[in-house]
A and B are shown apart, each in its own frame.
Chain A
Amino acid sequence: MILYTPMQLELVLAGLEQMTHHPERATTVHGVPALVRKVGGREELVQLLSTNPADYLRGDLYPGAPVKPDD
């Protein structure tokens, strides 16, 4: 992986070691397959796994959005 940026790499990557990993799970949100994780008691969307491109234009589903999984 190559980062191409005028920003100092020390600044960009600062805190990389301290980053806590929240376990992610694959589920569906409003019927759309997605990866979600629990952060501070609530669940947020990590990534959509849907193959329908129209799902990616939905206003309520984006990385970081608070979601209620279907299960």
Chain B
Amino acid sequence: MTFYESFEQVPGIFPYQPPSPPGPGNDPDRRENPDNEPNKERTKVVGKTKSSMEAVKEMGATQIPEVKSNIHCLTIVGQIEGHLVLPPQNKTTKYEHMIPQLVALEQNPEVEGVLIVLNTVGGDVEAGLAIAEIISSMSKPTVSVVLGGGHSIGVPIAVATDYAFIAETASMTIHPIRLTGLVIGVPQTYEYLDKMQDRVVRFVTAHSAITEEKFRELMFRTGELARDIGTVLIGQDAVECGLINEVGGMQQALARLKNLIEERKTRNEVPLQ
């Protein structure tokens, strides 16, 4: 008597009897030579190995699985580069690339909303205003989040969206426009700068709850900035003066964007007659 036979026999449980003996030939789905089978539709599997290896080599990034998102996220970081190519120590956002991107987002039916993430120190007035104008004229819902900083020309971009958030610790510097060019006639230069400043003031007051008087007061306040006149608004301050809608981060911004997308969908639905 072997060791196993010494145990009590339970029919169907012990000893175990497989329903069919193991080995090839019993599985009806088994195909001996699938490559040579005639009249079988073949599916081609294309790997992403090469491009993901390239991505690791070039950017130190790995390929992530593609998930279709109904929103797109645009980040505006560093200096907003405009008419002049800045020296390489600057981190820049190139407006000539961003503007067609925004056009594509507006046109693409798969994109339902745009999230703008800002951490900028300002930059070219015209390029910044161009981005702000194109964001404000989009028909799709847009939400901005100021993380870190949204200074100078970052302010009109932040307020250009349908709803603006600022992180609790993020700051926004509001200060007058400074001259970078040549001064030939002082009154003319002053007039010109004043006009440039008016463009920014007009845009910000038209797209946020701040009044022109309040914005100009913040712009020309003395004693807050070491090298300039102006004001630094941190988180809640920006909300209190009406510039930004709410203090919040990613969670609030995405929830708000989702709400705006839903609102737009219900608005666009044609009522049944």
Contact = CB atoms under 8 A, between A and B. Distances in A.
A31 interface: no
A1 B124 contact: yes
A47 B97 contact: yes
Interface string B94-126: 101100110111011000000000000111111
B97 A48 contact: yes
Interface residues of B, number: 46
A57 B97 CA distance: 9
A66 B178 CA distance: 36
Contacts of A13: 86-87
Interface residues of A, number: 27
Interface string B224-254: 0101101000000000000000000000000
A14 B89 CA distance: 8
Contacts of A63: 94, 97
A66 B88 CA distance: 17
A53 to B, nearest CB: 4
B128 interface: yes
Nearest to A8: B227
B177 interface: yes
Interface string B59-89: 0000000000000100000010011111111
